[in-house]
């Protein structure tokens, strides 16, 4: 019979992916990769949601994942548009070159 994989394992994977995503956001200068890292973090969260949903036997977790996907799709669209504009204006997408908000 199939071995039951404990919930905490899934959560551990999720946690690992989340941390790596956060690290990616922090150490990369390319905004595209930063974005991808954010997607990675969202995915990690989604994985946790689905795992919990499975654990508690309710569909709500899955529904949340569904909403997160929609929002992230919208977010990616807007974000990429912003990146394109920034590139148009600055001819570079290096986030470290953008500090006009400096106090």
- Shortest gap between Cβ of 56 and other proteins (angstroms)? 9
- Spell out a b/e string for 20-46, using b for 16 or more CB atoms within 10 Å of the CB, else e: ebeebbeeeeebeebbbbbebbbbbbb
Q: Which structure tokens are listed for 51? A: 């795992």
- Shortest gap between Cβ of 52 and other proteins (angstroms)? 10
- Shortest gap between Cβ of 1 and other proteins (angstroms)? 8
Q: Which structure tokens are listed for 95? A: 């986030």
Closest to 45 in 3D by CA, of 22, 78, 74: 22
């Amino acid at each position: 019979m199939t071995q039951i994989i404990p919930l905490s394992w899934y959560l551990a994977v999720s946690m690992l992916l989340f941390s790596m995503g956060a690290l990616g956001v922090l150490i990369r200068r390319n905004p595209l990769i930063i974005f991808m890292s954010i997607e990675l973090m969202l995915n990690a969260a989604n994985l946790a949601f689905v795992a919990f949903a499975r654990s508690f036997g309710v569909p709500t977790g899955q529904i949340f994942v569904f909403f997160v996907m929609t929002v992230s799709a919208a977010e990616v669209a807007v974000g990429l548009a912003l990146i394109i504009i920034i590139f148009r204006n600055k001819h570079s997408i290096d986030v470290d070159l953008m500090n006009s908000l400096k106090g």
